[in-house]
Structure 1
């Protein structure tokens, strides 16, 4: 079983071939597009192990299955006795990617 650790969107993910992954929105990628993750920090193919910061010449590829927004996070600011109340919401965009090859 091959797996790798990739870095995208400022975060690190442990990925396996054929598994799904939710990552930060990738600029320029649309649903159905092939994406390449060049920053592979660790790669184990079962017979060999590569470690680097990042490794060179060993990209991980995937297909974008869906793009959407995450659940809403609500932030409330309140000060007592002064009628001060602020409420803000934020929905982080994400992409669901299926890992094709390691």
Structure 2
């Protein structure tokens, strides 16, 4: 059985015991989180919600909050002598899917 969940403006296809990196959630390590379910698929076919599936819960456990690798951005304007270096580290939350309750 699999489910398509929505969090952080993105959609993820998850199964039980999957580990996913999602946009940072306001949750502590070892806490439980519940996701909105857009669709559920299994042996009996695919069930799609309008927009969410009623009576289905996907629960996960927060393993880690962190930041990804640094991305360096270099902007440059030719003939002006103008350049600027910037960096960015995207925060994430590492979540392990514990159950899909349909």
Structure 2: runs of 5+ lacking an equivalent: none
Match status 1:68 vs 2:62: no
User: Residues 80-95 of structure 1 correspond to what in structure 2 (within 5 A)?
Assistant: 80-95=78-93
1:20 matched to which residue of 2? 19
- TM-score relative to the length of structure 1: 0.89
2:94 matched to which residue of 1? 96
- TM-score relative to the length of structure 2: 0.89
Structure 1: runs of 5+ lacking an equivalent: none
Aligned CA-pair RMSD = 1.3
The list of structure 1 runs, each at least 4 consecutive aligned residues, that deviate by more than 3 angstroms after superposition, is none
Partners of 1:74 and 1:30 in 2: CA distance: 29
| Larger strand fraction of residues | 2
Match status 1:43 vs 2:43: no
Partners of 2:45 and 2:80 in 1: CA distance: 64
Q: Number of aligned pairs? A: 99
